[in-house]
């Protein structure tokens, strides 16, 4: 099934919406917009459809400008860049994607929060940041973090993805990382946090971290230890999971994980859609896979597991059980 593509008038209407909503408009910009609007009936129709469907879009862009001053242009470039993510975002904006325009633009939606996050990474992108206090933050691909640093606190809010933080000392302001399930307070210097579908994974790389759920439950996790924060309990994990930090070097180091979790770790590096059939999701995997070359990783999985990997297009990959060999 082919995907719907926006016509030039619809793309231009989104471009104008972003520029007019930035808060940095002047008389010339409004004059240019009026000229564009009246130059072709298709322009007026595209603008009317956009306003009807988006409603809250202007406020979304203003929120972005408020939280990251001077970066509104990034929204425009992100929306109009000529690649797969551009098409996905455009479809979401006009309500023809699976999320729908209204949901995407909701201030409380996960995708909207990720777009508006203070720090974020795209598909296949890893980035390092030096924070205002001197702490060093690394984000895995497809990650998003908000910062709340002031004279009283140092708080990172992980919206999605994975982070590793090397904490700078500040006895007056302990550094905390908040996720969907709870908070982690640095008692040492370096740890990893991953926001998973139903839990938060904490891996302590140096010293210790205090994990706390929103219901008040706490657990101190020591160097080399790991834990999963669920909604109502903290699960201490017995194995050393420090190899999970290998994404810093572009490697996915798997000791004993399910095929489903391995594919989840590869998704932020693969621009297409990957489906793993239910009957093979629980297969156990060991090995080291290249994050920056997910297709090579898929091929390696097919060589070591009883699965076949079928690529139907650059955007669709299906992983399923191999058929029995003919004798």
Per the structure, the complete domain to which residue 198 belongs is given by 122-243
Two tokens, residue 180: 């969907």
Instruction: Determine, yes or no, domain membership for 62.
Output: yes
Nearest one of 159, 102, 111, 164 to 137, comparing CA atoms: 164
For the chain, the domain total comes to 3
Return the DSSP state at 249.
G
For 303, phi then psi, to 5°, come to: -80, -30
223 and 127: one domain?
yes
Return the DSSP state at 197.
S
pLDDT in single tens digits along all 327 residues of the chain = 334 445 788 778 777 776 665 555 566 776 787 788 888 888 877 776 665 554 444 444 444 444 444 444 445 444 444 444 434 444 444 443 333 334 334 434 555 566 668 898 988 999 999 999 999 999 999 999 999 999 899 999 999 999 999 999 998 999 999 999 999 999 878 999 999 989 999 999 999 999 999 999 999 999 999 999 998 999 999 888 999 999 999 999 999 999 999 999 999 999 888 889 999 999 999 999 999 999 999 999 999 999 999 987 677 789 999 875 344
97 and 151: one domain?
no
Instruction: Determine, yes or no, domain membership for 326.
Output: no
152 and 195: one domain?
yes
**Residue that terminates a domain, selected from 243, 272, 304:** 243
- Please check whether residue 220 is in contact with residue 229, taking contact to mean a CB–CB distance below 8 angstroms: no
Instruction: Determine, yes or no, domain membership for 268.
Output: yes
Nearest one of 215, 139, 128 to 177, comparing CA atoms: 139
- Please check whether residue 82 is in contact with residue 76, taking contact to mean a CB–CB distance below 8 angstroms: no
Q: 109 vs 60, 116, 319, 322, CA distance in Å?
A: 12, 11, 30, 38
């Amino acid at each position: 099934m082919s995907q719907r593509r926006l016509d030039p008038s619809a793309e231009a209407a989104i471009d104008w919406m972003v520029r007019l909503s930035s808060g940095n408009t002047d008389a010339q910009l409004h004059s240019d917009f009026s000229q564009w609007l009246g130059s072709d009936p298709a322009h007026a129709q595209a603008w009317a459809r956009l306003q009807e469907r988006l409603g809250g879009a202007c406020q979304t862009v203003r929120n972005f400008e408020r939280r990251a001053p001077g970066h509104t242009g990034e929204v425009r470039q992100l929306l109009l860049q000529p690649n797969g993510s551009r098409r996905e975002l455009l479809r979401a904006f006009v309500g023809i994607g699976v999320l729908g325009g209204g949901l995407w633009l909701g201030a409380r939606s996960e995708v909207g929060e990720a777009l508006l996050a203070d720090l974020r990474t795209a598909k296949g992108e890893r980035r390092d940041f030096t924070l205002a206090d001197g702490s060093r933050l690394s984000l895995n691909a497809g990650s998003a973090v908000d910062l709340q640093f002031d004279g009283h606190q140092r708080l990172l809010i992980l919206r999605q993805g994975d982070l590793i933080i090397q904490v700078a000392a500040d006895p007056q302001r302990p550094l905390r990382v908040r996720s969907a399930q709870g908070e982690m307070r640095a008692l040492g210097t370096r740890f990893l946090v991953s926001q998973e579908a139903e839990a938060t994974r904490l891996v302590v790389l140096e010293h210790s971290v205090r994990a706390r759920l929103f219901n008040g439950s706490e657990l101190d996790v020591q160097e080399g230890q790991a834990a999963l924060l669920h909604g109502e309990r903290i699960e201490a994990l017995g194995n050393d999971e420090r190899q999970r930090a290998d994404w810093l070097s572009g490697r996915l180091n798997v000791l004993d994980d399910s095929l489903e979790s391995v594919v989840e770790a590869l998704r932020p590096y693969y621009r297409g859609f990957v489906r793993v059939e239910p009957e093979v999701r629980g297969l156990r995997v060991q090995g080291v896979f290249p994050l920056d070359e997910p297709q090579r990783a898929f091929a390696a999985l097919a060589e070591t597991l009883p699965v076949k990997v079928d690529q139907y297009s650059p955007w669709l990959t299906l992983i399923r059980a191999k058929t029995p060999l003919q004798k």
